[in-house]
Amino acid sequence: MPTHPGDKRDFLAIPDLETPALMGLLDRARRMKAGDSWGNPLAGRHVAMIFRKSSTRTRVSFEVGVRQLGGDVVFLADRDSQVGRGEDLADTARVLSRYVDALVVRTFGHQEVETLAAYGSIPVVNALTDLVHPCQVLADLLTMQENFGEDLSAVPVAWVGDGNNMANSWLNAAYRLGFPLRLACPEGYDPDPAILARARSNADILLTRDPAEAVEGVKVVNTDVWTSMGQEEENERRMAAFHGFMVTPELMSRARSEAIFLHCLPAHRGEEVDARVVDGPWSRVFDEAENRLHVQKSLFVELMVNDPHP
Ligand code: CP
Ligand code: NVA
């Protein structure tokens, strides 16, 4: 049997980490990025990565990060695993728990990662579902801290575009950290109502149809593609629905003068973001992409090392 702490912990969404653990994870990520060594806490341990959707950043940052911590990975794409042929996910979880020490999963329905977590005896990390993309927003929070300091509770953030997995994860981050979040989404493309309601219990959340209203006075402006993976057939309808939601230099000028622009990438220049923004002085998108590596290494320490806060 693989070795792992008795009480396994999963990371399926940001609220799985209590606020102190989330702040500790970000602090450790900052120290790792600055060069502090954590040795090889994953030595002799293996991580299986089940990816049912495409990926560049997530796959590479997880594979490199696990190896930098001394572990190894097994990558399973749909086309060459039995998951892709419909094998029961509960069986998959039980079998992989006999071989490896953690699962990293990118898939469609969020219930798929919940099933893997429920039936597996090893930590399961969500590397994107249709509902949330929590590892990306961990990286975004680290990028915010690099620009505005460690206490994010008063840093206003705007989301412009689709109420998608990224928007839901920003709501979850606001729920844990309490920063004001102003979302502009076209009608019919709102975030998940339960996630929105929970965030409102701990943060000032505005939901508007007007990107200019959302961006007014914020320090962080965020967007994402209008058509996420799995929604390709809706592309034409979405392009029409999101007309007027592009993040342009004019829109950025409504934010604070020190505001930064974030995008999880891949970006579609000329659709959700003007090239002058994503390639301009506001943009931190490549720091944000790099930070995936650091936060995910810190996450593995959090989930798989018995005393993650030495
Ligand atoms: N941002 C992100 O998750 O990128 P990939 O789809 O390339 O992994
Ligand atoms: N919302 C996008 C994010 C890609 C990293 C998608 O789900 O395709």
Please give, one letter per residue, the 3-state secondary structure of 222-275.
Answer: EECCCCCCCCHHHHHHHHHHCCCCCECHHHHCCCCCCCEEEECCCCCECCCECH
Catalytic residue among 45, 57, 106, 238: 106
pLDDT of residue 171: 99
Kindly list the protein residues whose Cβ atom lies closer than 6 A to any atom of ligand 1. Answer: 55-58, 128, 136, 264-265
pLDDT band for position 5 (cuts 50, 70, 90) = very low
Q: What is the pLDDT of residues 134-170, one digit of tens each?
A: 999 999 999 999 999 999 999 999 999 999 999 999 9
Share of the chain above pLDDT 90, in %: 95
The enclosing H or E element of 165 equals helix 165-177
Q: Which ligand is nearest to the CA of 229?
A: 2
Residue scoring higher pLDDT (266 or 2) = 266
pLDDT of residue 309: 57
Residue in 57, 107, 165, 291 to alter for ligand 1 test, most ligand atoms within 8 A of Cβ? 57
Residue nearest to atom 6 of ligand 1 (CA): 55
Catalytic residue among 182, 224, 274, 294: 224
Which atom of ligand 2 is least distant from the CA of 165?
Answer: 1
pLDDT band for position 3 (cuts 50, 70, 90) = very low
Burial class (CB in 10 A: 0-12, 13-18, 19+), 3: exposed
Phi then psi dihedrals of residue 96, to 5 deg: -65, -30
Answer yes or no: 36 catalytic.
no
pTM above 0.85, yes or no: yes
Which residue in this structure is represented by tokens 């965030």? 199
Answer yes or no: 130 catalytic.
no
Six token digits for residue 96:
């992989």
Answer yes or no: 294 catalytic.
no
Answer yes or no: 292 catalytic.
yes
Q: What is the pLDDT of residues 80-139, one digit of tens each?
A: 899 999 999 999 999 999 999 999 999 999 999 999 999 999 999 999 999 999 999 999
Answer yes or no: 106 catalytic.
yes
Q: Which ligand is nearest to the CA of 127?
A: 1
pLDDT of residue 80: 86
Residue in 225, 235, 292 to alter for ligand 2 test, most ligand atoms within 8 A of Cβ? 225
Using CA atoms, how far apart are residues 35 and 277, in angstroms rounded to an integer? 30
pLDDT of residue 7: 78
Q: What is the pLDDT of residues 189-214, one digit of tens each?
A: 999 999 999 999 999 999 999 999 99
Q: How do strand 220-223 and strand 205-208 relate by DSSP bridges? A: unpaired
Residue nearest to atom 2 of ligand 2 (CA): 228
**262 pLDDT more than 90:** yes
Select from 102, 105, 73, 75 the least CA-distant residue to 89.
Answer: 105
For the chain, what's the residue count? 310
Select from 157, 173, 130, 161 the least CA-distant residue to 256.
Answer: 157
pLDDT band for position 238 (cuts 50, 70, 90) = very high
